[in-house]
Chain A
Amino acid sequence: MAPDTILIKGPRIIDPGRGVDEVGDILVRDGVILASGTVSPDDIPEGCRVVEAGGLVASPGFIDIHCHLREPGYEYKETIAAGTRAAARGGFTSICCMPNTDPPIDNSAMVEFIQQRARDEGIVRVFPIGCVTKGRKGKELSEMEELAVAGVVAFSDDGDPVEDPNLMRLALTYSSDLGLPVTNHCQDLSLSRNGVMAEGRVATRLGLAGIPSAVEEAMMARDIALAELTGGRIHLAHLSTAGSVPLVRQARERGIPVTAEVCPHHLTITDEWVLGGQASGTGTGASFAYDTMTKVYPPLRGQQDVDALVQGLAEGVIDCIATDHAPHELISKLVTYEDAPSGISVLETALGSALQLVHGGHMSLIALVERMTVGPARVLGASFDHLSTLAPGTTADIVIFDPDLEWVVDPDEFQSMGKNTPLRGATLKGQVVATMVQGRFVYQDGAVV
């Protein structure tokens, strides 16, 4: 018996960091990848556990650099236990949780609390992100070096922008020797005002206050200018507008240290979804307008925005896909659109949504996997290199998925406590079969192990 040795037999191995896309085997022992590609029969011990993966894809486990686990403070929305199970079901082996908890993650004790909970109850790797400012109040810098030593992987006041441009300048300058990015939620609050969805034809029709694209682009342009001024590393969260893509592209071309992410929903669905299932009338048929499950920040936008974001991701201008998994208790969404909280529970639908880009011919499978593994690792820095590859000798964080399996989204089956998704009843193509963290399956055959 060699229970700690596992042979993943016959998958299409996609390892973007090494440019690998080939059918082969993967041998894992003691949490480490022994071989990947061609495995010598001599290396396979007697009694080795064999997982048949013919016809499936095996790649490095996905890395999500932007999710909300809600603990502590909002355990009625999500917990680290439930959120990591959702991640496992979604194929994510490493997730980075935002610090907009209560209390917020703005000191080392809070970082250690998250790490402790993740060790006790989590089933995938959890990396806390620390606040940019004390209490997320946007007034004074947090003790960023203490947070970095404690183990945060980035800084962000996500949920809110760092509004004061001088404070953002100081944050980028002060953190520049820590090697960690500052992630900003780009929203000019004085411009977005009381907006609840994208400004445009649908918002006008529904009488909902609109959020213009300039809300995002104005602050993004500011942040890029500040990154150039300070040399600090800015990471731009959840791009949602067509105009944001050329801003990032131009910044890159000028050598400014900027990275960017985009969410699965902004790549696949539009503000038309706020109208309900059919556009001929807002109050008839199976679904109604004002579906609060579509309320998210940044808001769902138009098809031109979706197209530009898809192209930006395909070309690599946008580094990675991040979920912005934002679970909410159902009752909080059973209110008017205006009163509903923003956010979608994304971890378990991310792959199926993102694969639409591959099935639609917009990018190759290896490119998509790159945006969910190597791309996010690049944003976070070199310490994540060993978690985003299948190279022999590296950590065995692996996802096995069927890119062609069709399934119907039923939020009642989510591992996440957040059942809030506009995709209820939608058919997605592509589903995770198994997720391995450090050589151990945490999710397999439709169940958390």
Chain B
Amino acid sequence: MSLLNAIETEAQPQIEAAGVRKRRRHVLDLDDFSQQEILEVLESAEGMSEVLHRDIKKVPALRGRVVVTLFYEASTRTRISFEEAGKILSADVINMSASGSSTEKGESLLNTGLTIQAMGVDIIVIRHPHSGAPYLLAQHLDRVGIINAGDGIHAHPTQALLDLYTVREKLGRLEGLKVVIVGDVLHSRVARSNIWGFTKMGAQVVLCGPSTLLPLDMLRPRGDDDENDPLASVQVETNLDRALEGADVVMALRLQAERQNGGFLPSMREYIRRWQVTEARLSRANPEALVMHPGPMNEGIEISSTLAHGGRSVIERQVTNGVAIRMALLYHLSAGGE
């Protein structure tokens, strides 16, 4: 059995099962994923994970495909993760960053996208500081698949999928779990995508942090909330001890130093005192509770060092699983429809 066959026996059945649905062209956020499709990706990633742990990490599934990573923001783990995922699947991966490119000559995002499309690229993986930037490309490029690798404070769907994958791997399920996301939710694309992901999979999401860093409209709904909107079903609790009662998953978000200068916080000291995730606080959570962080971490700010590297932490596992998830998505977009 060839390596390609080995992959196909893992991944093909799920994709065929989804044959009734129009094949997905873009991964922009999880808001348009069904529970079924999320499960398909997670199961496909299990097969990819197996490849990742082989001696020779290479399968020809995407041979002849070209993937461009187009990053307008600094990134280590996400960019390398996509590059590794593409290369293991034998795609040709080209990395482009905004600095040193035609962007510095003033080329617009759309024209850069059209140029890349004209070169016959199959998939563009984009990270951009503006919310919605991947949607601009998806709307105007008709021959390229777009994967959102993080846009502004809006979405980071591949991060959310790897978080779902990691929790499911460790706890065996997603439904009925209590997931507490702690920190600067207001400016977090990780939190937004995880709200969609965990809610769609039947988990209860609780947001915790300073009121100034939680979306105000969640605290004070304006009265015309849509029942189908998962934002309406999340709970908000500013007291971390109460939020952690019975939690199954605790996810700390990165706190940017500039939030203090922006007036959102009186001081880092006060933030640490009230919202740092520590071992003592975690005692209120379930004994099996997982500690997660999307990285990069400010150890000693949003999470204590001992917890970050302790037995309950799955932070490194998240990184490993990120490669498998991105392999599954690249395969999902480029090979599934043939």
A positions within 8 Å CB-CB of B: 199-201, 203-208, 210, 212, 279-284, 288-290, 302-304, 334-339
Contacts and interface: CB of A to CB of B under 8 A. Distances in A.
B130 A337 contact: yes
B86 to A, nearest CB: 22
A208 B132 contact: yes
A375 B242 CA distance: 56
Contacts of A336: 109, 128, 130-133, 136
Interface stretch (B27-35, B57-65, B167-175): B27-35
Interface string B7-34: 0000000000000000000101101100
Interface string B155-177: 10000000000000000000000
Contact of B110 (A205, A304, A335, A338): A335
A289 B132 contact: yes
A336 to B, nearest CB: 4
Contacts of A304: 222-224
A281 B130 contact: no
Nearest to B221: A201
A289 B148 CA distance: 14
Contacts of A208: 131-132, 152, 154
Contacts of B130: 336-339
A57 B108 CA distance: 47
Nearest to A305: B222
A221 to B, nearest CB: 21
A288 B29 contact: no
Contacts of A284: 32
B192 A334 contact: no
Contacts of B131: 206-208, 290, 336-338
Contacts of A200: 217, 222
Given A201-B217, A338-B130, A281 B135 contact: no
B215 interface: yes
Interface centre among A212, A289, A339 (most CB of B within 10 A): A289
A288 B146 CA distance: 13
B119 interface: no
Interface string B105-135: 0001110000000000000000010111101
B294 to A, nearest CB: 15
Contacts of B280: none
Interface centre among A208, A280, A336 (most CB of B within 10 A): A336
B216 A334 contact: no
Interface stretch (B48-56, B90-98, B226-234, B314-322): B226-234
Interface string B135-146: 110111000000
A108 B140 CA distance: 46
B224 A207 contact: no
Nearest to B232: A201
Contact of A281 (B31, B153, B224): B31
Top 6 closest A-B pairs, CB basis?
A281-B32, A207-B154, A290-B132, A283-B28, A207-B131, A336-B130
Contacts of A205: 31, 192, 229, 231
Nearest to B32: A281
Contacts of A203: 217
B108 A201 contact: no
A336 B31 CA distance: 20
A95 B42 CA distance: 59
Interface centre among A283, A290, A302 (most CB of B within 10 A): A283
Contacts of B225: 201
A201 B140 CA distance: 26
A201 B221 CA distance: 8
A131 B131 CA distance: 35
A280 B217 CA distance: 20
Nearest to A282: B31
30 contacts: A199-B217, A200-B217, A200-B222, A201-B225, A201-B229, A204-B217, A204-B231, A206-B132, A207-B131, A207-B132, A207-B155, A207-B192, A208-B132, A208-B154, A210-B217, A212-B216, A281-B31, A281-B32, A282-B135, A283-B26, A283-B31, A288-B138, A289-B132, A304-B222, A334-B110, A334-B136, A334-B140, A335-B110, A337-B132, A338-B130
B248 interface: no
